[in-house]
Amino acid sequence: MAPRAPASLRRRLLIQLIALSAVLAVALYVAVRLGAERASEATLDSILGAATTAIAEELRSVEGGTELDLSPGTFSMLSAVGEERIFHRLDISGVAVTGYADLPLPPRPPSTLEPVFYDAPYRDTDLRLAAVARSLMIENRPAPVLVIMGQTRDGQRAIAQSLANRAAALGLAVFLVAVPLSLLAAGSLMRPIANLAEAVGRRGGHDLRPVRHPAPTELKPLVEQLNAFIARLRQTLAQTETFIAEAAHHIRTPLATLKSEAEMALMQAGDEPTRARLRGMIRATEESARSAGQLLDHATVLFRADQRAQERVDPGAMVAALVERFGPTADLKDMELRLDLPAAPLETLGDAVLIEAAMRNLIDNAVKYSPDDSSVQITLAAEGGFARLDVRDRGRGLGGETQAVLERRFHRGANVAGVVGSGLGLTIVAETAVAMGGRFALTEREGGGTCATLWLPLSG
Amino acid sequence: MRFLLIEDNADLARSIRTRLDLEGHAVDHAASLADAADHLAAAHYDLILLDITLPDGDGRQFLARHRAGHADTPVIVLTARSAVSDRVDTLDLGADDYLTKPFDFAELQARCRAVLRRRGGAASNLQSLGDLTFDPLGGCVTIAGEARDLRNRELRLLEALLSAPGRILSKDQLCDRLFSYSEPVSDNAIEVYVARLRKKIEGGSARIETVRGLGYRLTVG
Amino acid sequence: MRHALAAVVWLIAALPALGFEVEAERRFGPEGAARQVRVLATTDIGFFAPLAEAFLALQPGLSLHYVQAASTEVHRAIDAEGAGFDLVISTAMDLQMKLANDGFARALPSDLVEGLPGWAHWRDRLVSIAQEPAILLIAESALPEGQPLPRSRRDLIALLRDHPEVFDRRIGTYDPQVSGVGYLFLTQDDRLSDSIWRLAEVMGRLNARLYCCSGLMIDGLLSGELVMAYNVLGSYAAANLPPESGVRAILLEDFTLTLQRTAMVPVNAPAPDLGALLLGFILSPQGQAIQMQASADAVIPAERFATQPWLRPIRLDPGLLSSLDGMTRQRFLAEWSAALDQL
């Protein structure tokens, strides 16, 4: 399974902060609840234990038995917190002598002087009980005495509950406050990242300068790696540019030599078969040269399209220069190149190299496929936010094939027999159109020929 | 015309020279920038053909220096590189035109003529036969002083025939001169153009003679 | 006390069905009313009648069955016999507290308990409906000329010591062995100050006579048999002592015990909502006014506690239980007897 991309950092942080707040709020509640209960229980236990112990010590052995004087103050005090119900039981030598005779006994008898605390149900409620053991001399014999005091803990529970409720309300309030604070914190934390991302994003596609935007410590390693990557990319790009240029040179120079040698040989050749062969060789070298040229152009297009250079280009000036350049070539076939430019200069933003390559291919195609003595019409006009370039020829037309098919790499139209071309020309135009954010269309002309249209978005 | 060819590839240089020679031009060859400097110091040239990649330096440096010095000799750059920046650079640096290798000689011819025409200045050597005069640079033909309007291929056909006056040029040879090897040529293309040219130069002393089975020649009378 | 009385009841075991001893009973309201509220109380029917009638006037569809009994009997009825009553009223605060502590009292509606001051209720189980002082009664005429009336127990002790001839055999007080209220007063006296023991000694030397009830002490005063009665229930005095009797009711200023008449709704009440309704009426201003009137102003309105701080309401809390403890009671009564018997 492909690893899942992590969700937005901001959302993660937000969720974690909120989860943390929730956990803390719950922990607060639980802590207070437990703490309050334990604290109050411990306090009340110690009071209960003290009262039981006091009563046990109040027990006196007198002539004729034992004597006990229960103090109302003790009972009042035990009952005071939360108006608890009080129960007592006094056993001498294992026999209940006074108080509530069925009050539950402790699970284990107290062994030391310390009270034993335990919980037990009694009658219609649950009690917290303390039992204290003493020894009393009765009729000259030691008799074990067990004093048990029990109290309900309703009041304590009520207080603990109300404390816990307050804690819950506090926890909830804290949580509710934490939510917007978390949002703020997440936002402010993410800001440096957002700033950095924006700064990097604002750079042009061509911008291979190192990123110098100040970054927080945690992002510094990322920025450093990014800069290292940019440097490597710059190097690779430079190498690629160099490579493409070198490749061109290294392919074309031998081809040029080959061609001119063949031409020389052809001039000197006598017999027809040899001539034919030599012509074939020459055509092959021309085809190779052309293919090489288009492959290199294509490589350049691919290479440059990614970089998204944003230069200001005057398509009118560019097409005019190209038309002038193709002048002598067209002349050789007695072809006329007619150029119509708009009155006001147009401007498009993009890669000058690519646009030039596309336009050159369009004109080259038109010249290549047009017969002698024909004319090629080139018009440039502004149309709905685009610069529209039309190249119309009276050539062989599309031969019934669709634009999409013709654009396919290395596809040569069905009607190109006898004409040298590698089939990359239209691909280059189409890819350039897409990269520049424009469009490209091929249509048949009435009366024969092709109209190739290239739209480039106008700047501004 | 007098050419200076600055090209380090010996084979290519040889074939360019031979070809230009055939056309009737004089070509000096320098294989390095240093060599070129010597040549330029010694003689005057009508046109410089410059290869961009040279063993002892970038052709662009030469261009820059050339502009500083002999601004009058036009330079056509021969480049095998495809980067447009190269093309733009060369033109910016002062080349008058450029050609991508491998190139058609016809194109080379046409561009040379265009450059020279643009520059003006260089004397055009008129060729003539009988009352027919041909200005290769301007691409004009006059029959007994009267200008005749010839299409491009007709001009080239005339030029080819003029280059070997009185000699028979085979159809094949003419084909080589008129059409590039990648163009589709119909069987009777030469006949068609010969007929057209005949018509255009009618009325003059020069005429095209058909030699059956051998070819054509331009004769007077 | 309980054990003693239990023994008495055994002796009267001939009594039929109703296990506990009833002193009086009466039915109020229309015959065959849709519902009936059953009340068990120590209060004299005469005192209660105006309350019952006023209540029924407001609740036309109800009738009221009132049963009067002694405080120990009331306790026994609920504790041992589980008799079905909707409202139980008693002046024996300790016995009521024991019932509540032992789980016989039902929780009352919160709106009943809410407005009451802390000393006037225990939890939501026991509610004080009237506060009565324990007063000192003295036949003024019997005192020597110009003798000021005692204002504190100290004064009283001095008076008794100084004029033994006036008071010998002519002092009356509750017999704590027999009277629940009497025992309660005594234990509370002891809780607040030890002057009771000196008073007991003095009263013992003066051969004080012990009575089971306030009524008899008042009769004694009226007949001239007694000159002084200590710790008499205020309501009895007010009801039965005409102003011209020459007997003065004194609220001693070191402290005056104030007993609370408490009410509760038992857990096994057949109509607990009616019990609560009646209780609510008694606590209402109308109910309280009727009570005050019926007991001839012996009932103290709660506001007087603020202005007369010597009025000490007996605390309504489990402290009352300690004095009910068998061994403790035994010890207390032994001490009391020892103090009285000076022979």
> pLDDT digit string (tens) for C20-37?
888 889 998 888 888 999
Whether residues B91 and B161 share a domain: the answer is no
| Cross-strand bridge partners of residue B141 | B134, B148
Whether the CB of A261 is below 8 Å from some CB of chain B: the reply is yes
Q: Percentage of chain C surpassing pLDDT 90?
A: 38
Q: What confidence score (pLDDT) does residue C299 get?
A: 64
Instruction: Decide if A66 and C327 are in contact by the 8 Å CB cutoff.
Output: yes
Whether residues B169 and B107 share a domain: the answer is no
Q: 3-state DSSP call for residue B6?
A: strand
Distance CA C51, CA C79 (A): 26
Distance CA A351, CA A370 (A): 29
Mean pLDDT of C153-158: 92
From A293's Cα to the closest Cα of chain B, the distance in A is 7
CB A276 within 8 A of CB A313: no
**Which residue of A286, A293, A419 is in closest CB contact with B82?**
A293
Instruction: Tell me: pLDDT of C165 over 70.
Output: yes
Q: 3-state DSSP call for residue C253?
A: coil
Residues of chain A with Cβ-Cβ distance to C327 below 8 Å are 66-68, 70, 90, 97-98
Whether residues B151 and B115 share a domain: the answer is no
* Interface TM-score (ipTM) > 0.90: no
Spell out where chain B has E strands: 2-6, 26-30, 47-51, 53-54, 57-58, 75-79, 97-100, 127-129, 132-135, 140-143, 146-148, 206-211, 215-220
Phi, psi of B188 (to 5 degrees): -100, 20
Reference C175, options C222, C209, C216, C132; nearest CA is C209
What does A178-247 look like in DSSP terms, one character per residue? HHHHHHHHHHHHHHHHHHHHHHHHHS-TT--SPP-S---GGGHHHHHHHHHHHHHHHHHHHHHHHHHHHH
Whether the CB of B145 is below 8 Å from some CB of chain A: the reply is no
Instruction: Decide if C322 and A80 are in contact by the 8 Å CB cutoff.
Output: no
Q: What confidence score (pLDDT) does residue C296 get?
A: 59
Q: What confidence score (pLDDT) does residue C266 get?
A: 95
Whether residues B64 and B87 share a domain: the answer is yes
Tens place of pLDDT per residue across chain A (460 aa):
566 776 787 888 888 888 888 888 888 888 888 887 788 888 889 889 998 988 888 888 877 778 888 888 888 888 887 788 999 999 988 899 899 999 999 998 888 778 999 999 999 899 999 999 988 888 788 888 999 999 998 887 788 788 888 888 888 888 888 888 888 888 888 888 888 888 888 876 667 788 888 888 888 888 889 889 888 988 887 788 777 777 877 888 888 888 888 888 887 877 888 888 888 888 888 888 877 877 777 777 777 777 777 888 899 999 998 898 888 888 888 889 999 999 889 999 888 888 888 898 889 888 877 888 889 999 999 998 999 999 998 887 766 566 666 666 555 555 554 444 445 677 788 888 888 889 998 888 888 888 999 999 998 6
User: Given 3.20.20.100, 3.40.190.10, 1.10.10.10, 3.60.10.10, which CATH number is that of C2-131+260-313?
Assistant: 3.40.190.10
Scanning A399-458 for CB atoms below 8 A from B yields 417-420
Distance CA C202, CA B145 (A): 176
Instruction: Decide if A267 and B176 are in contact by the 8 Å CB cutoff.
Output: yes
Whether residues B178 and B108 share a domain: the answer is no
Tokens of A278: 């030599």
Q: At which of B60, B87, B119 does a domain end? A: B119
- Which domain covers residue B37, as residue numbers? 2-119
Mention every residue, 6+ apart, whose C-beta is less than 8 A from residue A212: none
Whether residues B104 and B143 share a domain: the answer is no
Whether the CB of A276 is below 8 Å from some CB of chain B: the reply is no
Count up the domains in chain B and report the number: 2
Domain with residue B154: its CATH number is 1.10.10.10
Reference C262, options C130, C102, C79; nearest CA is C130
**Which DSSP symbol is given to B145?**
T
Q: What confidence score (pLDDT) does residue A182 get?
A: 83
Instruction: Decide if A86 and C191 are in contact by the 8 Å CB cutoff.
Output: no
**Which residue of A75, A85, A97 is in closest CB contact with C327?**
A97
Q: How many helices (H) and strands (E) does chain B have?
A: 8, 13
Instruction: Decide if C327 and A123 are in contact by the 8 Å CB cutoff.
Output: no
Instruction: Tell me: pLDDT of B19 over 70.
Output: yes
CB A426 within 8 A of CB A441: no
Q: What confidence score (pLDDT) does residue C326 get?
A: 87
Instruction: Tell me: pLDDT of C310 over 80.
Output: yes
Which of B182, B183, B214 has the most A C-beta neighbours within 10 Å, making it the best mutation to test the interface with A? B182
Whether residues B79 and B7 share a domain: the answer is yes
**Which residue of A86, A98, A125 is in closest CB contact with C318?**
A86
Whether residues B7 and B115 share a domain: the answer is yes
Give per-residue pLDDT as tens, B156-210.
Answer: 888 888 888 888 888 888 887 787 776 767 778 888 889 988 888 888 888 888 8
Closest Cα in chain B to A272: B172
Provide the residue ranges of all domains of chain C, joining segments of one domain with +: 2-131+260-313, 133-257+325-340
Instruction: Decide if A253 and B9 are in contact by the 8 Å CB cutoff.
Output: yes
Q: What confidence score (pLDDT) does residue C66 get?
A: 94
Q: At which of B88, B119, B150 does a domain end? A: B119
Q: Which residue's structure tokens are 């003493």?
A: A134
Q: Which residue's structure tokens are 């590839």?
A: B9
Instruction: Decide if B11 and A257 are in contact by the 8 Å CB cutoff.
Output: yes
Distance CA C128, CA C262 (A): 4
Closest Cα in chain A to C106: A124
Question: pTM for the complete prediction?
Answer: 0.55
Closest Cα in chain A to B171: A272
Distance CA C20, CA A14 (A): 73
Instruction: Decide if A84 and C318 are in contact by the 8 Å CB cutoff.
Output: yes
**Which residue of A69, A123, A124 is in closest CB contact with C328?**
A69
Give C215's Cβ-side CA count (13 Å radius).
Answer: 5
State the pLDDT confidence band at B90, using cuts at 50, 70 and 90: low
Give per-residue pLDDT as tens, A223-244.
Answer: 889 889 888 988 887 788 777 7
Whether residues B41 and B133 share a domain: the answer is no
Closest Cα in chain A to C122: A83
Whether residues B7 and B71 share a domain: the answer is yes
Whether the CB of A354 is below 8 Å from some CB of chain B: the reply is no
CB B159 within 8 A of CB B153: no
Reference A355, options A344, A363, A343; nearest CA is A363
Least confident span in A144-153, A255-264, C70-79, C165-174: A255-264
For A313, the enclosing helix (H) or strand (E) is: strand A311-313
Residues of chain A with Cβ-Cβ distance to B82 below 8 Å are 244-245, 248, 293, 296-297, 300
Instruction: Decide if C321 and A67 are in contact by the 8 Å CB cutoff.
Output: no
CA triple A410-A415-A419, angle to 5 deg: 70
R_g (Cα) of chain A, nearest Å = 50
| Cross-strand bridge partners of residue A391 | A378, A452
Distance CA A431, CA A255 (A): 28
Residues of chain A with Cβ-Cβ distance to B21 below 8 Å are none
Instruction: Decide if B181 and A282 are in contact by the 8 Å CB cutoff.
Output: yes
Closest Cα in chain A to C188: A72
For B112, the enclosing helix (H) or strand (E) is: helix B105-119
Q: At which of B67, B90, B119 does a domain end? A: B119
Interface of C with A (CB under 8 A): 100-103, 122-123, 187, 191, 315, 317-323, 325-328, 331-332
CA triple A317-A320-A326, angle to 5 deg: 140
Instruction: Decide if C332 and A90 are in contact by the 8 Å CB cutoff.
Output: no
Distance CA C73, CA C18 (A): 11
Whether residues B212 and B154 share a domain: the answer is yes
CB B32 within 8 A of CB B55: yes
State the pLDDT confidence band at C298, using cuts at 50, 70 and 90: low
Q: What confidence score (pLDDT) does residue C230 get?
A: 93
Q: What confidence score (pLDDT) does residue C181 get?
A: 85
Instruction: Tell me: pLDDT of B11 over 60.
Output: yes
Q: What confidence score (pLDDT) does residue C10 get?
A: 53
From B146's Cα to the closest Cα of chain A, the distance in A is 22
User: Given 3.10.20.740, 3.40.50.2020, 3.90.1150.10, 3.40.190.10, which CATH number is that of C133-257+325-340?
Assistant: 3.40.190.10
Tokens of C9: 């009841």
Q: What confidence score (pLDDT) does residue B29 get?
A: 93
Sign of CA dihedral A208, A213, A219, A220: positive
Instruction: Decide if B107 and A328 are in contact by the 8 Å CB cutoff.
Output: yes
Whether the CB of B64 is below 8 Å from some CB of chain A: the reply is no
Spell out where A25-153 has E strands: 60-62, 65-67, 86-92, 95-99, 116-122, 125-138, 141-151
Whether residues B48 and B109 share a domain: the answer is yes
